[in-house]
Amino acid sequence: MITSLRETTWTRIQRHWVTVLLLGSVLISWLSIVADVEQLREAGLIANVAVSGALYGALLAFSRFRGRAALVIDVVTALGLAILVVGHVLPGVRALFSQPFDKSLWLMNARLATLGEVLRSDTQWVLTSYFPQTRLFLFLSVLAVWQATVWLLWGVLRRRRALAAVLPLAALGVVYTALSQDGPQLPVIFIAVCVLLMARTAYAYHTHDWDRRNVGFPELIGEDWTKWAAVLSLVVVLLAGVSTPEWRNSFQRLMESLRPPPPPPERTTAPVQISPQVSSNYTPSFVPSLGYVGDSFPDSDQTVFYVVTDDPPSGIDSSGLAKPPKQQHYWRGAIFDRYTGSGWDLLDVEGDAPSVRNELVGPGRYALLQRFEIISLLDNRLFAASQPVKASDGIRLQAASADPTAVLPRGRLPRYEITSWVSRVTAPELEAESSDYPAEIRERYLQLPENVPPRVKDLAARLTQGATSAYDKALRLQEYLRVTYAYKLDVPPPPTSRDVVDYFLFDAPGGFCSYYATAMAVMLRSQGVPARVVTGFATGDYDGLLRKYRVSAKAAHAWVEVYFPTYGWIEFEPTASQEVFDYTGEEKDQPDQLPESLQPRSADTALMPIVIGALSALLLGLIGVVAWWVWRRYAQSHLTPEQQARRLYWEVRRSLQQLGVGSGPSATPAEFRAACADRLADQPQLRQSIELAAELYIRAVFTATPPARSEVETARRAWQACWKERLKLRLRLYTRHQRGHPVQIVHGDR
């Protein structure tokens, strides 16, 4: 049974390998359409869904399910997949196995409820909004792409109707292309491969039908079918290509490049004055304001400052360099207290901070000495870790009049020292902390606009339901934001008059640090936990030789501070690209570096795409020819002697037909042999090879004694040895045609 199953599988592979190859080409060319549409979000997700749908469609096509049963199974699978991938319902594999199962269920339930709210609200205003900005569009896209790719494989492999199978995928390609205002035209390669697929499917359908009805047809009809399908595909490519301005412009640039360059202009006697240019290498290095969340942060590698702390290194590596300290510090430079719906108001620190003594370090904290060397700051904004309490001469520690805990350093010194009280609190201590907040803290850091959408508060309440402390609420919200929303730098800005937190939580494809921090602070405030957003710089890169941090402009960052009555403001990290602040006291990995931002790609020359395209097409064509030749030799070696004899006979008939020798399609092998004997009386070697091929065909088809493999191989070698005689016939045919003599061509032997 196992042997039979293997034979059946191998037979299917042999029968469908060309179709599968063309299906893969159709899918790849369609994915290129999706990848070229810059306005389309989640192109990677769409590609994954398309590939998965194709594999699923192939399984359905080869299964025993009938049409209606397969449709029901497919629809249920598509709905489940769309819910899972669009709603990010399932946690990551690492989180799924590293955390308690009830916690995973809580996270999945929260994400599922969020998706339901998103789809409900998107349905209400989708007619007045830009469609691609909604999660509903992504949900429908996943459903449509899945169904289109499943239908493609089902229609080609099961129903053998390529035109109907390709239409949904082609329609989606047109839709995605139309979403881009200056997007690409539908790639002509997609059209060409679709034509080849339709030709291949039609060939498979008709040959199967002829075999079923016992209708005879030439063995080599597939090669002729392939030839004309390739010609038709090339014609379609040319017609589609010349209709696009890209092809016309490329051809025009190619022709212009072949012209000789114009002579250089004559030099004038007056020298040309070159105006001095401002250097374009300057990049602002300070953190932008959060007055409008969505403004981009710097991404340059320009050094802003160096900082040395008195934290001891965590060890020495094998090369003798110091390892970074275990403690994680951020360098704070600004505090934001009032949320406006689109951003934050900067807290004004206009008064001098009260002086404190180092020996009076607050509970859960320790004194950290920092030495800063400023490289490229442009204003009097300085930075310090956590709560600064003492600074070197020339540096002022300023605090807000309404909040003495909001302390920031100010000054213009290139080097300064500062001492901060930084956190050393533990998770059990934060868990046991009370919620008895001072009135001034409640008034300032629980503020929210009246127009914050209710679904933001509802989501926060759902996520923190059952939490026993402010710390538990902060951890839940921090984890939900980190594992649910993708970290992206190229996020479209929030629409005008739209609450930025609502936009990030329910519609945006992701976000960066200011989105994460704003969302966490607002949701904490909605649940009665004082929180604020602060900005500055992340830890930076540690230099093990100099034992100091190098902080560059791309380390600019925003994070959240949560107030605990006993311990003050404690840092939390909701941004997915950064390492969390660990208050468990356990060993942890060093913070990940900020992701490298995408560098602008250098502009190609005008002819480079043409040259690359031509070379690629030539290489692909060469690979295709070699692959076809290898496969033909391989398939020939696996044919039975009877099949080889039939194939050789029809190959001989077709070749002679092209040379004007032979008989009509209804001629028997004996009649064909007699006709060739009359026309080829002066070429005995060619006539003998024809006699041998016809004799083997008669034995293979009409007798009970089939030819041996060695006999077929001898006949094939005899036919190949007559290449000189066949070349003479071709030259004779060409000469008669050039002289205007009528040429008799025998039709029908295909």
pLDDT per residue over 400-457, tens digit each? 877 888 899 988 888 999 999 999 899 999 999 988 999 999 999 999 999 999 999 9
Residue 372, SS3?
strand
Task: Kindly state whether residues 461 and 384 are assigned to the same domain.
Answer: yes
Does the residue 190 lie in any domain? no
The answer to whether 236 and 195 have CB atoms below 8 angstroms apart is: yes
Range from 31-35, 156-160, 301-305, 397-401 carrying the lowest mean pLDDT: 31-35
Q: Give CA–CA dist 70/287, Å, rounded.
A: 56
Task: Kindly state whether residues 558 and 681 are assigned to the same domain.
Answer: no
Does the residue 615 lie in any domain? no
Token pair 């960066």 in the structure block, residue: 512
The answer to whether 562 and 572 have CB atoms below 8 angstroms apart is: yes
Residue 401, SS3?
coil
Domain termination site, one of 144, 162, 183: 183
Q: Specify which of 555-564, 613-622, 676-685 reaches the highest per-range mean pLDDT.
A: 555-564
| Residues 180-210: tens digit of each pLDDT | 554 445 567 787 888 888 888 887 777 777 7
Which uninterrupted H or E stretch holds 192?
helix 188-212
**Other beta carbons within 10 Å of 253:** 14
Residue 531 has a pLDDT of 96
Task: Kindly state whether residues 374 and 498 are assigned to the same domain.
Answer: yes
Residue 573 pLDDT grade (very low, low, confident, very high; cuts 50, 70, 90): very high
Residue 474 pLDDT grade (very low, low, confident, very high; cuts 50, 70, 90): very high
Task: Kindly state whether residues 542 and 393 are assigned to the same domain.
Answer: yes
Q: Which residues pair with 316 in a beta bridge?
A: 322
Q: Positive or negative, the Cα torsion across 470, 473, 475, 478?
A: negative
Written as six digits, the tokens of 687 are 């006539």
Q: Does residue 250 have a pLDDT over 50?
A: yes
Contacts 24+ apart (CB under 8 A), 237-245: 237/188, 237/189, 237/191, 237/192, 240/186, 240/188, 240/191, 241/188, 244/185, 244/188
Does the residue 240 lie in any domain? no
Token pair 């070696």 in the structure block, residue: 637
**Other beta carbons within 10 Å of 394:** 10
Residue 612 has a pLDDT of 47
The answer to whether 483 and 92 have CB atoms below 8 angstroms apart is: yes
155 secondary structure, DSSP code: I
Domain termination site, one of 156, 183, 210: 183
Q: Does residue 627 have a pLDDT over 50?
A: yes
Residue 298 pLDDT grade (very low, low, confident, very high; cuts 50, 70, 90): confident
93 secondary structure, DSSP code: H
| Residues 671-730: tens digit of each pLDDT | 787 888 777 777 888 888 888 888 888 888 888 888 888 888 888 888 888 888 888 887
Does the residue 537 lie in any domain? yes
Task: Kindly state whether residues 513 and 394 are assigned to the same domain.
Answer: yes
Residue 318 structural domain: 303-572
Contacts 24+ apart (CB under 8 A), 6-10: none
Q: Specify which of 115-119, 233-237, 473-477, 681-685 reaches the highest per-range mean pLDDT.
A: 473-477
Does the residue 627 lie in any domain? no
Does the residue 213 lie in any domain? no
Task: Kindly state whether residues 334 and 475 are assigned to the same domain.
Answer: yes
- Range list of H helices, 393-464: 427-431, 439-445, 454-464
Residue 280, SS3?
coil
Does the residue 143 lie in any domain? yes
Q: What is the CA radius of gyration of the chain?
A: 37
Range from 269-273, 324-328, 738-742 carrying the lowest mean pLDDT: 269-273
Residue 255 has a pLDDT of 56
| Residues 62-106: tens digit of each pLDDT | 888 888 888 888 888 888 888 888 877 777 666 666 677 777 787
Phi-psi region of 364 (alpha: psi -120 to 50; beta: other; left: phi over 0): left
Span 32-52, mean pLDDT?
77
Residue 679 has a pLDDT of 77
Q: Does residue 492 have a pLDDT over 70?
A: yes
Q: Which residues pair with 372 in a beta bridge?
A: 307, 416
Task: Kindly state whether residues 670 and 542 are assigned to the same domain.
Answer: no
Written as six digits, the tokens of 198 are 């339709």
Task: Kindly state whether residues 309 and 430 are assigned to the same domain.
Answer: yes
The answer to whether 505 and 519 have CB atoms below 8 angstroms apart is: yes
Residue 610 pLDDT grade (very low, low, confident, very high; cuts 50, 70, 90): very low
**Pick from 711, 365, 342, 642: which is nearest to 497 by CA?**
342
Residue 459 has a pLDDT of 92
The answer to whether 182 and 154 have CB atoms below 8 angstroms apart is: no
Q: What is the mean pLDDT of the chain?
A: 77
Alpha carbon distance, N-terminus to C-terminus of the chain: 39
**Other beta carbons within 10 Å of 655:** 18
Task: Kindly state whether residues 670 and 560 are assigned to the same domain.
Answer: no
Residue 64 has a pLDDT of 80
Cβ-based neighbours of 693, under 8 Å, separated by 6 or more: 645, 648, 649, 652, 715, 719
Task: Kindly state whether residues 671 and 564 are assigned to the same domain.
Answer: no
Structure-model confidence comparison of residues 524 and 200, the more confident one: 524
Q: Specify which of 2-6, 24-28, 189-193 reaches the highest per-range mean pLDDT.
A: 24-28
Q: Does residue 276 have a pLDDT over 50?
A: no
Domain termination site, one of 155, 183, 211: 183
Residue 331 has a pLDDT of 93
Residue 282 pLDDT grade (very low, low, confident, very high; cuts 50, 70, 90): very low
Task: Kindly state whether residues 686 and 539 are assigned to the same domain.
Answer: no
Structure-model confidence comparison of residues 505 and 281, the more confident one: 505
CA torsion 309-312-318-319 (nearest 10°) is: 30
Written as six digits, the tokens of 218 are 């030439």
Residue 746 has a pLDDT of 46
What type of residue is 13? I
Q: Does residue 283 have a pLDDT over 60?
A: no
Residue 473 pLDDT grade (very low, low, confident, very high; cuts 50, 70, 90): very high
Residue 507 pLDDT grade (very low, low, confident, very high; cuts 50, 70, 90): confident
Alpha carbon distances (Å) from 261 to 265, 266, 501, 605, 739: 12, 15, 58, 16, 46
Residue 223, SS3?
helix
Span 531-543, mean pLDDT?
93
Task: Kindly state whether residues 116 and 27 are assigned to the same domain.
Answer: yes
Residue 384 has a pLDDT of 94
Tally of structural domains, the chain: 3
- How many helices, marked H, and strands, marked E, lie in the chain? 22, 15
Residue 572 pLDDT grade (very low, low, confident, very high; cuts 50, 70, 90): very high
Q: Does residue 272 have a pLDDT over 60?
A: no
The CATH number covering residue 512 comes to 3.10.620.30
Cβ-based neighbours of 645, under 8 Å, separated by 6 or more: 693, 696, 697, 699, 700, 706, 707, 712, 715
Does the residue 122 lie in any domain? yes
Written as six digits, the tokens of 32 are 């290129």
Span 131-155, mean pLDDT?
82
Structure-model confidence comparison of residues 349 and 615, the more confident one: 349
Q: Does residue 237 have a pLDDT over 60?
A: yes
Residue 14 has a pLDDT of 55
Percent of residues, the chain, with pLDDT higher than 70: 73
